[in-house]
C-alpha cells in the first residue's frame, strides 16, 4: 500500500470527507484533524497552567470520602454545619441503579460504602422511609447486614456509639515501639497503612465515643452473628494466631492499668506530631487526616488548639464546594499532573525553552525532597532525594512520581543546568537504591512484602503491603534509559528478570496504579524501549499482540476496574480516552506506529473529542487500592491522549504530517533565552 493510499484510508476513518469535498487534497485532509487535535489539546492545557508553573486536576474518589467526612463532623458535634447537608446531597446523586453505592462507576454495590452513605444521610435528617434509604437498606441486609462491614467502617460505627470497640480489631500503640527490622513492626507495613494505623492506635487505646441519637439497628441482621468470625478451619494458621492475639490485646485494654500502655500511646502521639511537619496533613491523604483529628481530640487537644485547627484545615483544602453540593478529594496530585502535562506538551512540539515548560520545570525542581522520610529506616546511608505526589509530603517521596518528574525535567531547557544535573544524579541514585530484592520497584519503600501481615485482623483494606509492581518497575526503567542506562546495567537486568517473571500468560502485565492490564502493559513496553531492549523479543511482541487483541471495533480501548476482581476481564470495558492513549503509546513503543491498530486508535482519539477539542471521560481509570478504592484523575483525559497523538505523529504513523499544521501557528517561535 502506498503512502497516499494510507492517507486516504486514514482520512475516511477520521470523517474528513467534507474537507475533501471542499477541494482539499487527501494529504491535507489527513493533516488537519491530527494537527487540530494536538493544537487544541495544547491550548487547553496551557490555559490551565497556574502562574507558578504547576497543573493540578480534580482527583475524584467514591462516596466513602463524603460519608466519612460527615461522620467526622458528627463525632465533632457539627451535624448542624450546612456542609453536612451539601455532602449528603452529593452522596444521594451518586446512588447506583441497584439503589446502593459503588466504589467505581458501573461497579457493583459495595457494602461498607453503602452502610456509611446510609448512616451519613440518616444523621443529617433523611427519613428511613425515603425511597433511596429504603432501597439501600434492603441491599445492605441482602449483602449480610452492617455486621459484614470492613474493619475501618467498624471504627466509625464505634466512634458514634453504634457498636462496641470489642467489635473492632485491636490496634495496639505498642506497634510504634517495635524495632524497624522486625517483620511485624510498623516499618514492615506500607506507608499509607502506617499513617492510618498510628492515630488508630490512639483511638483503639482510649476508645472515644460520641453517641448518636439516631442508630442503625435496622441495618443489622438478627439471624447472623453481630461480629462474624474470620477463623480458618485449620487450627494452625496465621489468621487464627492473630485473632488469638487480638483477644489478648482486648483483655489487656480492659484489665491492665493505663500506665502500662502509656509508653506506646506516647510514642504514637510523638510519631503523629513529627509526621505533621512538612506535610499537607498526616500522610497528605484523606484517611489518616480524618483519624488524626479524632486522635488529637482523644488526647485532649481543644477544638480551637493550633494542632486541631491545622488538621481540619488540611481536610478543608480537599473540599470542592458548590452551591447545592460538596465533594471531597482523597488528596491532590499537582506533582504528578505537572510532570505528565509537561511531557505531553513537549512531545507535542513546544520547544525546551518555551515559557510554560520553563515554569513547570522550575516548579518541579523546587519540589525535590531533601530530607529523610520513612524510607530511610531501610536505606540509612542513601542521600535524600525524590518527589512526592502532593504539594507538600516530605516524609513520603515515591518512586513513580520521582521517575515521572525526571522524565519531565529532561524535556525542558533546565536539563542543561548544573542545578538539574545535580538533582537528577541524586534522584537516580536514590531510585536505584530503592530497588527491591526481587528486582522490582514498589511505591514508597523497599521490601515491604511480608505476606504474613495480610492476615492481621485490620488488614482487610487489601493494602497493608507495598510490594513490587510491573508498572512502577517499568517506569523506573524508563527513567534509567532516558538518562543513558542500558539494558545491560545490573539494576536493569534484575528488573527485567522481575518483569519476565510477572508477565501474564496472554502477554500483558498487571497495573497496580492504573486500570489495569492496559496500564501495566503500556508502561512495560515504554520501559523496555527506553533501555534499548530488543522490541522484537517474543515476550515484548506478545505484549503488543495482546494490546492489539483487546482493541475494540470502534478503535478504542477500555478496561473496567472489575478486572482486579476477575482477571478474565483483562482489557474488557467501555472505551476511554486515557486507556486508548496508553494502548497507542504502548504500540508505538513496540515499533507498531504504522500498524492498523495504532492508526485506528489515533483515529478514535481524534473522532471522540468534545466541543472544546479535548475528551470526556466518566470512567475511573486510576487505582488507589485494588478492589477497595479507585480514582478518576480529571486530567488523564487530556494529557495522555495529547501525548499519544504527538508521539504517533513523531513516529511517522500512517496519519503523516505533510505540511505545517495549526500547531505551528498556535505556538509561535520563541527566541532562545540566554538566561534561564
Read off the C-alpha cell for 601.
486508535
Q: What's the pLDDT tens digit per position in 356-379?
A: 999 999 999 999 999 999 999 999
The total number of structural domains in the chain stands at 3
Q: Are residues 266 and 313 in the same domain?
A: yes
Is 524 among the domain residues?
no
The residues of the chain scoring below 50 in pLDDT are 1-31, 656-676
Q: Are residues 238 and 169 in the same domain?
A: yes
Q: Are residues 575 and 563 in the same domain?
A: yes
Residue ending a domain, among 328, 351, 382, is: 328
Q: Are residues 79 and 31 in the same domain?
A: no
The pLDDT value recorded for residue 295 is: 98
Q: Are residues 402 and 546 in the same domain?
A: no
Q: Are residues 36 and 100 in the same domain?
A: no
Is 531 among the domain residues?
no
Average pLDDT, the chain: 90
Q: Are residues 380 and 273 in the same domain?
A: no
The pLDDT value recorded for residue 260 is: 86
Is 644 among the domain residues?
yes
The pLDDT value recorded for residue 494 is: 98
Beta-carbon contacts of residue 270 (< 8 Å; ≥ 6 apart): none
The pLDDT value recorded for residue 225 is: 78
- CATH number at 10 reads 1.50.10.20
Burial grade of 535 (CB within 10 A; 0-12, 13-18, 19 or more): middle
The pLDDT value recorded for residue 377 is: 93
Q: What's the pLDDT tens digit per position in 617-676?
A: 999 999 999 999 999 999 999 999 999 999 999 998 655 433 333 333 233 344 333 333
The sign one gets for the Cα dihedral 104, 108, 112, 114 is positive
Distance CA 295, CA 204 (A): 10
Count Cβ neighbours within 10 Å for each residue of 335-345 and write b for 16 or more, e otherwise: bbbbbbbbbbb
What element of type H or E holds 89? helix 82-93
Is 509 among the domain residues?
no
Q: Are residues 271 and 365 in the same domain?
A: no
Q: Are residues 192 and 143 in the same domain?
A: yes
Predicted TM-score (pTM) of this structure: 0.91
Residue closest to 327 by CA, chosen among 561, 64, 140: 64
Question: Which residues have a catalytic role annotated?
Answer: 400
Say how many C-beta atoms besides its own lie within 10 A of residue 283's C-beta: 27
Residue closest to 110 by CA, chosen among 461, 347, 380: 461
Q: Are residues 312 and 289 in the same domain?
A: yes
The pLDDT value recorded for residue 510 is: 98
Is 516 among the domain residues?
no
Bridge partners of residue 320, in order along the sequence: 327
Is 259 among the domain residues?
yes
Q: Are residues 193 and 262 in the same domain?
A: yes
Q: Are residues 339 and 265 in the same domain?
A: no
Residue ending a domain, among 313, 328, 343, is: 328
Read off the C-alpha cell for 292.
488524626
Q: What's the pLDDT tens digit per position in 300-350?
A: 999 999 999 999 999 999 999 999 999 999 999 999 999 999 999 999 999
Read off the C-alpha cell for 509.
502485565
**Domain coverage including residue 621:** 1-47+542-667
Is 674 among the domain residues?
no
CB 492 within 8 A of CB 482: no
Is 83 among the domain residues?
yes
Beta-carbon contacts of residue 562 (< 8 Å; ≥ 6 apart): 107, 569, 573
Amino acid at each position: 500500500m502506498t503512502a497516499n493510499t494510507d492517507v486516504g484510508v486514514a482520512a475516511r476513518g477520521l470523517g474528513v470527507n467534507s474537507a475533501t469535498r471542499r477541494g482539499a487534497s487527501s494529504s491535507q485532509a489527513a493533516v488537519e484533524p491530527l494537527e487540530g487535535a494536538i493544537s487544541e489539546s495544547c491550548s487547553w492545557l496551557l490555559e490551565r497552567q497556574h502562574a507558578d508553573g504547576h497543573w493540578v486536576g480534580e482527583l475524584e474518589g467514591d462516596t466513602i470520602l463524603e460519608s466519612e467526612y460527615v461522620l467526622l463532623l458528627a463525632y465533632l458535634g457539627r451535624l448542624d454545619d450546612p456542609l453536612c447537608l451539601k455532602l449528603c446531597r452529593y452522596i444521594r446523586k451518586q446512588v447506583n441503579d441497584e439503589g446502593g453505592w459503588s466504589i467505581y462507576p458501573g461497579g457493583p454495590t459495595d457494602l461498607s460504602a453503602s452502610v456509611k452513605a446510609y448512616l451519613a444521610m440518616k444523621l443529617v435528617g433523611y427519613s428511613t422511609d425515603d425511597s433511596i434509604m429504603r432501597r439501600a437498606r434492603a441491599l445492605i441486609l441482602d449483602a449480610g447486614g452492617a455486621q459484614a462491614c470492613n474493619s475501618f467502617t467498624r471504627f466509625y460505627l464505634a466512634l458514634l456509639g453504634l457498636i462496641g470497640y470489642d467489635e473492632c480489631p485491636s490496634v495496639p500503640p505498642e506497634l510504634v515501639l517495635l524495632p524497624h527490622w522486625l517483620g511485624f513492626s510498623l516499618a514492615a507495613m506500607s506507608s499509607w497503612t502506617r499513617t492510618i494505623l498510628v492515630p488508630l492506635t490512639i483511638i483503639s487505646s482510649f476508645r472515644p465515643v460520641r453517641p448518636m441519637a439516631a442508630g442503625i439497628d435496622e441495618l443489622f441482621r438478627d439471624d447472623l452473628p453481630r461480629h462474624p468470625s474470620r477463623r480458618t478451619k485449620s487450627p494452625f494458621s496465621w489468621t487464627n494466631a492473630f485473632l488469638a492475639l487480638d483477644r489478648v490485646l482486648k483483655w489487656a485494654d480492659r484489665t491492665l492499668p493505663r500506665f502500662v500502655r502509656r509508653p506506646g500511646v506516647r510514642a504514637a502521639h510523638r510519631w503523629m506530631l513529627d509526621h505533621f511537619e512538612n506535610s499537607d496533613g498526616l500522610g497528605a491523604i484523606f484517611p489518616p487526616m480524618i483519624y488524626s483529628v479524632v486522635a488529637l481530640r482523644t488526647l485532649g487537644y481543644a477544638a480551637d488548639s493550633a494542632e486541631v485547627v491545622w488538621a481540619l484545615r488540611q481536610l478543608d483544602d480537599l473540599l470542592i464546594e458548590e452551591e447545592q453540593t460538596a465533594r471531597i478529594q482523597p488528596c491532590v496530585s499537582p506533582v504528578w499532573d505537572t510532570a505528565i502535562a509537561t511531557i505531553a506538551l513537549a512531545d507535542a512540539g513546544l520547544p525546551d525553552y518555551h515559557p510554560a515548560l520553563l515554569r513547570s520545570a522550575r516548579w518541579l525542581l523546587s519540589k525535590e525532597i531533601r530530607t529523610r522520610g520513612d524510607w530511610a529506616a531501610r536505606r540509612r546511608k542513601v542521600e535524600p532525594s525524590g518527589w512526592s505526589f502532593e504539594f507538600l509530603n516530605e516524609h513520603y517521596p515515591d518512586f513513580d512520581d520521582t521517575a515521572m518528574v525526571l522524565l519531565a525535567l529532561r524535556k525542558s531547557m533546565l536539563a542543561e543546568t548544573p542545578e538539574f544535573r545535580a538533582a537528577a544524579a541524586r534522584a537516580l541514585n536514590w531510585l536505584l537504591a530503592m530497588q527491591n530484592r526481587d528486582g522490582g520497584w514498589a511505591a514508597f519503600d523497599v521490601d515491604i512484602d511480608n505476606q504474613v501481615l495480610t492476615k492481621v485482623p485490620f488488614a482487610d483494606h487489601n493494602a497493608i503491603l507495598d510490594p513490587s509492581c510491573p508498572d512502577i518497575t517499568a517506569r523506573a526503567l524508563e527513567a534509567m534509559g532516558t538518562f543513558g542506562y542500558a539494558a545491560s546495567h545490573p539494576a536493569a537486568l534484575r528488573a527485567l528478570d522481575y518483569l519476565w517473571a510477572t508477565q501474564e500468560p496472554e502477554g500483558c502485565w498487571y497495573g497496580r496504579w492504573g486500570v489495569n492490564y492496559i496500564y501495566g502493559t503500556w508502561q512495560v513496553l515504554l520501559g523496555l524501549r527506553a533501555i534499548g531492549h530488543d522490541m522484537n523479543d517474543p515476550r515484548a511482541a506478545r505484549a503488543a499482540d495482546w494490546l492489539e487483541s483487546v482493541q475494540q471495533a470502534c478503535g478504542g480501548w477500555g478496561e473496567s476496574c472489575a478486572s482486579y476482581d476477575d482477571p478474565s476481564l483483562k482489557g474488557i470495558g467501555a472505551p476511554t480516552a486515557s486507556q486508548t492513549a496508553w494502548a497507542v503509546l504502548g504500540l508505538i513503543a513496540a515499533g507498531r506506529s504504522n500498524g492498523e491498530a495504532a492508526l485506528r486508535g489515533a483515529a478514535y482519539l481524534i473522532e471522540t473529542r468534545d466541543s472544546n477539542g479535548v475528551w470526556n471521560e466518566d470512567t475511573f481509570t486510576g487505582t488507589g487500592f485494588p478492589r477497595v478504592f479507585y480514582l478518576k484523575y480529571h486530567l488523564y483525559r487530556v494529557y495522555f491522549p495529547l501525548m499519544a497523538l504527538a508521539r504517533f505523529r513523531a513516529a511517522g504513523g500512517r496519519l503523516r504530517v505533510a505540511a505545517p499544521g495549526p500547531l505551528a501557528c498556535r505556538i509561535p517561535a520563541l527566541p532562545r533565552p540566554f538566561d534561564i
